[in-house]
Amino acid sequence: MRVVVGGSHGFVGGALLPLLRQEGHEVLRLVRTAPRSHDEIAWDPDAGTLDPRALEGADAVINLAGVNPGSRPLTTARKRLVLSSRVRSAGLLALRLAEVADGPRVFLQASGIGAYGSRGDDVLDESEPLGDTFFAHVVREWEAATAPAEAAGVRVVHLRTGIVLGPGGGALGRLLPVLRLGLGGRLGSGQQFWPWISLLDEARAITHLLSADVRGPVNLVTEPRRNIEVVRALASAMHRPAVVPVPAVALRIALGDFSSEVLGSIRAVPAALDAAGFTPVHADLDDAARWVVNRA
């Protein structure tokens, strides 16, 4: 397939592009600077600019673009940027896909598992209603922005990504160095569910969905496990203890509103992904933790 990718320089994009090429796909990257090679397409979501002719002849679009909400304090201005960066990029692509007759008929749009809000021990599949937290609001607007593509008959999939376990970034970017020092432990009570997936399986699931007969929201998770279990698995893989808890109040002070993503409990399951026939390489948490540590 000829696949156009937005947000290719991010944590997930860095794992996805090599896999797409390995599987024989031709990859074109959306870039915000002047194209420097034949495989780059210029776009500017903030200005609403993307030449629809650049999408002609492509089979699919995968959009992972969006400001990282955990990299800086979630001030009011930062929240606006987190939301606008997602809605503008998704909306621009949806509009262009609706305009191009000989264009991609598959649109895989990034989304987040925070869609459901904190729901305790409730088991959450894709049929569950969205929550009322800030991140649930972001997901609601983010996914709604793809409506023009859906109306034009494009198969749209919302990639509700969970806690991605991988070296070098993602949700573990701050946690892994602390665990290596033997200073890590449960976050808050440690009883909150974290719906995790390895970085490798995240990329594999996305490539699987390029051709799977699936549309709408898909929970990109392997299984939900409690935070203390995830932390202990990673610490064990490093041969370190995990006995220094981080109080919830400290996380709220340090992370502000983003602490809801760390302390919230989202017991999301991969119902749609399972039904689509996807089989993870890292189905076991301990195996995934060892893979992360070995790769790091």
Cβ count near 20 (within 10 Å): 21
pLDDT at 70: 77
Q: Nearest Cα to 110, choosing from 8, 194, 33?
A: 8
Q: Nearest Cα to 131, choosing from 284, 241, 264, 2?
A: 264
Euclidean distance between the first and final Cα of the chain, in Å? 31
pLDDT at 174: 75
Output the six-digit token pair for 104.
């991609």
Calculate the alpha carbon distances from 246 to 44, 145, 262 in Å.
Answer: 40, 37, 11
User: Could you read off the pLDDT of 230-241 as tens digits, one per residue?
Assistant: 999 999 999 999
Residue owning tokens 């074109």: 28
Which residue spans within 199-270 are E strands per DSSP? Answer: 216-220, 223-226, 267-268
Domains of the chain as residue ranges with CATH: 2-295 (3.40.50.720)
* Cβ atoms of residues 148 and 98 within 8 Å: yes
Length of the chain: 296
The confidence band for 58, taking pLDDT boundaries of 50, 70 and 90, is very high
Output the six-digit token pair for 8.
């290719």
The confidence band for 63, taking pLDDT boundaries of 50, 70 and 90, is very high
What is d(CA 227, CA 260) in angstroms, rounded to the nearest whole number? 13
Average pLDDT over residues 260-273: 94
Chain-centre distance for alpha carbon 77: 22
Residue owning tokens 């573990």: 172
Output the six-digit token pair for 33.
């600077």
User: Could you read off the pLDDT of 66-125 as tens digits, one per residue?
Assistant: 998 877 888 899 999 999 999 999 999 999 999 998 999 999 999 999 999 999 999 999
* Cβ atoms of residues 209 and 157 within 8 Å: yes
Side chain identity at residue 215, one-letter code: R
Backbone angles phi, psi at 228, to 5 degrees: -60, -35
Share of the chain above pLDDT 70, in %: 99
Average pLDDT over residues 15-36: 96
The confidence band for 271, taking pLDDT boundaries of 50, 70 and 90, is very high
Query: pTM value?
Result: 0.95
**Between the CA atoms of 50, 214, 197 and 122, what dihedral angle is there, to the nearest 10 degrees?**
120
Whether the pLDDT of residue 171 is over 80: the answer is: no
pLDDT at 253: 78
Tell me which H or E stretch contains 106. strand 106-112
